Structure 1
Amino acid sequence: MMSNYCRDICAIIFVFVLVSLLSPVFSSKDFREENDSSMPAGDKLKDMELINAYLRKINKPFVKSFKSPDGDVIDCVFFHLQPAFDIPELREKMSFSLPELPKGHDHIAGNNLEIKQLWNSNGESCPNGTIPIRRTSASDIISISKLGKKYSIKDIPANPDHEHAIGFVHNEEFYGAKAVLNVWKPDVIGNDFSLSQIWVLSNFPGRPANSIEAGWQITPNKHKDGLPRLFTYWTKHKGIKHFLLNNYCFSSITTYILKLQPNGYRSGCYNMICPGFVQTSRTVSLGAVIGPISTYNGEQYDVAFMIWKDPKSENWWLKVGNEVIGYWPASLFTDLRNHATLIEYGGEVYSGSSGKHTSTQMGSGHFPDEGLGKAAYARNLEVIDRYNNLNPVSNLILFADKPNCYGVTKGYSDVWHNYIYFGGPGYNPKCL
């Protein structure tokens, strides 16, 4: 009679064999159908091989998958097989402990707002021991060449392709930030993007800024539905970058990706498209559609975003709505291993087009002076101190690259505390 131990071992072996059979497979036909028109004719075969190699590396074996109504495929991947643990340094420090939530998080309006995504709108979630990862496609890789590098207002030199309308605080020690953002579906043109987010940055003179960012973004170049999607973005230190270039991505695919985006991809990473972020939630998928969407002069829907440094592990954690999503290990960063020096809230638009100003909208597509129900907002603006306390922001500074295109205003109320309205239509008679 087979012992319980043998049965357990056989079951594990069966699961891993099954998982290997279910691993995503990408054919040259799939690639050509998705990207044929966007690739130079002489490079198509080589590019196809390189991108397919990368997709096989980044898309992990799964035990279950969901086909979302928006076309996304969400794979349920074993926690220990997620991309972050391809980095030996992170695998050796794998953590299962829950973070310490900042004090005061139960007393701020909007804290318990729930994040909703299309893929699990019927209540689905991944099985215990797995996490939902949006399957990376060839178009995700190609779009790296078309989406400009993410920027903060402190980037020097400034990039004219990126425009901001934000509130910020700086020149202090920050250990996190929180804001409640309402969700919109602005019109986005061509290869542009439009987003609403919070930034947590270190910005020491003479050194490249470390950055952790989270919010919602619309990128039609990647997702033709033009719907807002939950996103994160972060910049890595040289050691992690060296590992990615020389071990993870294969030299060939890395060379290809860096050729596509010589500045942006070396500087940062979206969602789970490269290893680094460690996801713990089994109900939320980075890069997936977020909703519901606010309507002009109608119902407003918003979600709380919080990034903070856990005082126990010293890792940077992400909470969206009432769900703790996961963490960025402190070892990913240089200056952010200690604390942040700059917090930003608001919107950003990227446009690589020349000539007249882009008509890509920010926020609701309306200027901030239109107010509640009509303009985008970030409310209950807070920062986290070294003692893990949430505090209202003070000395909030407003900044807009081109106020006639995208503007920002600020205010205070007993319910919203500190808040900003921001956004605009882009091209108009005063924004050429």
Structure 2
Amino acid sequence: MSQVISFVVLFLFVSCSVSPVFSSANNDLRQANQTFRPHEELQKLKILMKINKPSVKTIQSPDGDLIECVPAHQQPAFDHPQLKGQKPVDPPERPKGHNPKGTLSDVYQLWHMSGEACPEGTVPIRRTTESDLLRAGSFEKFGRKFTKPVQRDSTSGGHEHAVGYVTGEEYYGAKASINVWAPKVASQYEFSLSQMWVISGSFGDDLNTIEAGWQVSPELYGDNYPRFFTYWTSDAYQATGCYNLLCSGFVQTNNRIAIGAAISPTSDYNGGQFDISILVWKDPKHGNWWLEFGSGVLVGYWPSFLFTHLRDHAGMIQYGGEVVNSRTSGFHTPTQMGSGYFAGEGFGKASYFRNLQVVDWDNNLVPSSNLRVLADNPNCYDIQGGTNTAWGTYFYYGGPGRNSKCP
């Protein structure tokens, strides 16, 4: 079903100011900032060399991204001491009840419009530029969330959520189809995202999460495109983990999906609706956590040794939206969540998650029963859940941020 619904033509379903940048030989950044110290320049170059691996082909995306086709065994993951000298492992058994077709037409990213593709045996990786590093404000912050853990009962450090969640059982994965929009983000300090969280441990320093979805983050990417992203941490966002492939961790196995690349098309208010299907599940034999995008396209996996609690199972699954509210000038941000409209607007106007499922102890995909919904600040962003035969367990969510009831 997800294969059919993914087509947009089927309308039924379907933080840090920008600093001037330095030059590099590829004309990446020619605006000199004379305040940069030599040791900082050296550190910057070391980071870029570590992230940007040698490639066999470079693809220019219409949005300005450069997609590098990197030999799979040379990707950033294999810098990890426990992966050095290894190659990606073979795909695992899919959860029972999951019947994807895996067609190329289900893969939607802007860079595909170039007509180019990465060769077999390589993985497409978005090139990290000096601009990307400098927008982060510090090298330590680059590619990191630096946020307090996502709790169910309160807002957290300027982060506001509208989420559905299940808890109380042992979870070995989750799946959802996520409506894709291009919400307006008011400041480079802020972002808007829609994602799944696979969570284990307490909401303290030992929190483990695996996250995947789409996000608009001007700080991270330098634009306002919604982009497919991943994240992981094993210590509540303190020292471990990162977005996408910006540290050694996630092992990519696919040559058609670039994590961090823009998604196209997006949904239109009162028009065509587009969603992406995301599945995360634990390989019962080897314990690695795998990621699938679209209908049957395996993207790669998080090795089990990255985690503590998630070496066993998850204790909570969350689905939904998150924004950063920096309260510029003392007002709530007008950054939008989802479509920018409240849940009550319904299909074609409000953003949705549908066909919410979890993976049980026996590797079965089953409906996310007993889903609870929570909005930190419902006057700004809200959520409404439901169940029907076509969409299974679903919810609408989102909002405009600042408005007459959300000053």
- C-alpha distance in 2, partners of 1:113/1:383? 26
| Structure 1 residues 76 and 31: alpha-carbon distance in aligned structure 2, compared to 1, 3 A threshold | closer
- C-alpha distance in 2, partners of 1:378/1:113? 21
Partner of 1:230: 228
Work out whether 1:171 is the aligned partner of 2:168. Answer: yes
SS at match of 1:163: strand
Tell me the TM-score normalized by structure 2: 0.86
Partner of 1:54: 47
Whichever residue aligns with residue 341 of structure 1, its letter is G
| Structure 1 residues 29 and 65: alpha-carbon distance in aligned structure 2, compared to 1, 3 A threshold | closer
Work out whether 1:180 is the aligned partner of 2:155. Answer: no
Q: Any residues of structure 2 matched to 1:195-274 within 5 Å, and which?
A: 195-204=193-202, 207-236=205-234, 266-274=239-247
The worse-fitting range, judged by mean Cα deviation, of 295-304 and 117-126 is 117-126
| Structure 1 residues 338 and 119: alpha-carbon distance in aligned structure 2, compared to 1, 3 A threshold | same
| Structure 1 residues 78 and 205: alpha-carbon distance in aligned structure 2, compared to 1, 3 A threshold | closer
Q: Any residues of structure 2 matched to 1:109-188 within 5 Å, and which?
A: 114-145=106-137, 149-150=146-147, 152-154=149-151, 159-188=156-185
Preserved CA contact (<8 Å) 1:196 1:347 = yes
Partner of 1:85: 78
- C-alpha distance in 2, partners of 1:172/1:34? 54
SS at match of 2:78: helix
SS at match of 2:270: coil
Whichever residue aligns with residue 300 of structure 2, its letter is G
Whichever residue aligns with residue 169 of structure 2, its letter is E
| Structure 1 residues 111 and 422: alpha-carbon distance in aligned structure 2, compared to 1, 3 A threshold | farther
Preserved CA contact (<8 Å) 1:113 1:321 = no
**CA shift at 1:141, angstroms?**
2.5
Whichever residue aligns with residue 204 of structure 1, its letter is S
Work out whether 1:359 is the aligned partner of 2:334. Answer: yes
**CA shift at 1:126, angstroms?**
1.0
**CA shift at 1:45, angstroms?**
4.2
The worse-fitting range, judged by mean Cα deviation, of 136-145 and 152-161 is 152-161
| Structure 1 residues 205 and 111: alpha-carbon distance in aligned structure 2, compared to 1, 3 A threshold | farther
**CA shift at 1:28, angstroms?**
8.0
| Structure 1 residues 35 and 339: alpha-carbon distance in aligned structure 2, compared to 1, 3 A threshold | farther
- C-alpha distance in 1, partners of 2:255/2:172? 26
CA-to-aligned-CA distance 1:214-268 (integer Å, 9 cap, x gap): 000001233343110010000146xxxxxxxxxxxxxxxxxxxxxxxxx956243
- C-alpha distance in 2, partners of 1:97/1:126? 20
- C-alpha distance in 2, partners of 1:100/1:34? 50
Bigger CA radius of gyration: 1
- C-alpha distance in 2, partners of 1:283/1:112? 9
Q: Any residues of structure 2 matched to 1:271-420 within 5 Å, and which?
A: 271-322=244-295, 323-354=297-328, 355-420=330-395
**CA shift at 1:206, angstroms?**
5.5
CA-to-aligned-CA distance 1:311-370 (integer Å, 9 cap, x gap): 122100000102110000000111111110010001000133441100000000000000
Structure 2 residue runs of 5 or longer lacking an equivalent are 1-21
Tell me the TM-score normalized by structure 1: 0.81
The worse-fitting range, judged by mean Cα deviation, of 337-346 and 147-156 is 147-156
Whichever residue aligns with residue 53 of structure 1, its letter is K
Preserved CA contact (<8 Å) 1:144 1:265 = no
Preserved CA contact (<8 Å) 1:378 1:419 = yes
CA-to-aligned-CA distance 1:65-96 (integer Å, 9 cap, x gap): 10111111111111110111111212356443
What is the RMSD of the two structures over their aligned residues, measured on CA atoms?
2.7
Q: Which structure's residues are more often helix, by fraction?
A: 1
Give identity over the alignment, percent. 49
